[in-house]
Structure 1
């Protein structure tokens, strides 16, 4: 890849001249991620893909703004370095942040955790505790007042996501429309708005690889807004290793010892205790989050169907979306989801 323009941009922005080395990294979710070494600094560059599912799903500049606002706050995030919206520099908008020496939990867990199963509960407890920290941020005080429309957030969600589904031009998914009607008919009053991550789960945070587990940073903020915090909580629990619809950390060479982990119900109780929020309507949020997750995955599947995605994993997102809709329907019917 041609990095001359990127090197010149960094020299201009940072006020010195240093050689750079750029290498593509795996992971990063919907965005493209690169390791960026410049002199003695070791950073990560995140850039938007050439084809986006939504105007927000790959908004790396929005993500940079959130990280910049949170710098110095009591929340675990990487330090932002610089951002750029000039597509002549590195093909699409991007930003640079500090590199955190940590790993997400996807298929498996670090070997040190597997060797100390009695400590593994800390991984999911840390996930909840870091979420409580995010939701405790005074988003007005840090300059994020206009990040999203807090008023009527929950009331807008069904219409917004059904419109998103229609915009893909792919499968119609009748089950999504039926569940959407149920969600509108049973919508709770909602929570006081907070800073809202939008894709909070075990593989969008970074952990130290030693034991006991320590959560170092919350990453992948491009879906961040101001919204209902219980959506973040219920979303995270879709991926909970114990009973989650799409469990993480359960299929790698080293996996969670499930009998050492708290249940999803215990996670909700921990969040309630530490945040002071009323979680009595969490069942609605469990349905909503699975339904929303299906629509999000369908966007990437539709891109793959159109030949606009070169990520092989997107081929499997259609079946995963179907599974999430089945899970949401089961919860509505009072069956395990």
Structure 2
């Protein structure tokens, strides 16, 4: 079963860590830990970078921001670690944070270290050794959605997370903020998204549906599955963008990544989670299921779906900006400009078909 676990690889050129400094930092917080870490890197990490610190007796995970230009408000490692630590007692799927660090003498950026959850991360395709029938796949799909619903129902005040709220008007702040981020990250070879941004501004709801704790990047490749029962979710990762906000915005962001079996070839080519498999819910089925479980009205979801795709395009473009300007050499980012253009056209098609 070990072959099913998410496998790290060699650290990418230009993204190396200083092993001696990292080892000394870890030893301050875990003085009984023996030996020096073998450092590897996980293949994901289009945004923040994730490293495996392999010690003889246990594995740890280190998270740090990307190298190169970063958006001013993005990649706040200390905030992510704080949210995870507060959330852990009431949402057990969060990995335990061991230590966080803002000392530039150790690393030129903030970072944190957490426990490693040993399990299966369902990326673009399930591991070849893992064969699920249609019924099991549906159970997995519903279990993943249920973890988002469970998150949205947490008493964030009891968890001590009320301080991360910025008050009413979450949707309006998101539309304005992501629009500004796109304009700052635009390169000469991509579309301007101005029609999409104006539509979102004009069609956003007058007030937020509700305020709850939202993940803001809830995807299959951010969950960890139990190797003994791969339909069971044992972990939820990547809390960088978690905040208090409108739950339907969270769902719209999730569905931006939800490539289903009947989508066009271009969208299929960028699929990064196994939502195409027989047994997986379609996007509309997810919306309906979420509405039935939560009681929220979801009969007019166009705004949230289009915003989710636009926000994804901004994330893609921010990454492409770094590649375009030579601030990262990861070849996986070379086609992100074309992806940004595709997402603009997808948004425009949905706008044309919208009844809003």
Question: Could you state the TM-score of these two structures normalised by the residue count of structure 2?
Answer: 0.85
CA distance in 2: counterparts of 1:331 and 1:125, whole angstroms: 26
Listed as ranges, the matches of 1:194-273 within 5 Å are 194-209=212-227, 211-242=229-260, 243=262, 246=267, 258-273=277-292
Structure 2 unaligned residues grouped into runs of 5+? 1-16
CA distance in 2: counterparts of 1:322 and 1:174, whole angstroms: 6
Structure 1 unaligned residues grouped into runs of 5+? none
- SS of the aligned residue for 1:299 comes to helix
Q: Aligned pair in 2 of structure 1 residues 127, 153: CA closer, same or farther (>3 Å)?
A: same
* Worse-superposed segment, 242-251 or 76-85: 242-251
Q: RMSD of aligned C-alpha atoms?
A: 2.6
Q: 1:274 Cα shift?
A: 2.0
Residues 224-264 of structure 1 show CA distances to partners (whole Å, capped at 9, x for unaligned) of: 12111112212212222425684599689xx6673322222
* Worse-superposed segment, 237-246 or 82-91: 237-246
Tell me what 1:166 maps to: 183
Tell me what 1:287 maps to: 306
Q: 1:41 Cα shift?
A: 2.6
Preserved CA contact (<8 Å) 2:48 2:63:
yes
Alignment: residue pair count:
333
Q: 1:66 Cα shift?
A: 1.1
Tell me what 1:155 maps to: 172
- SS of the aligned residue for 1:89 comes to coil
Q: 1:110 Cα shift?
A: 2.7
Q: Does 1:92 find its partner at 2:92?
A: no
- SS of the aligned residue for 2:63 comes to strand
* Worse-superposed segment, 298-307 or 71-80: 71-80
Tell me what 1:19 maps to: 35
* Worse-superposed segment, 236-245 or 221-230: 236-245
Q: Aligned pair in 2 of structure 1 residues 129, 75: CA closer, same or farther (>3 Å)?
A: farther
Question: Could you state the TM-score of these two structures normalised by the residue count of structure 1?
Answer: 0.89
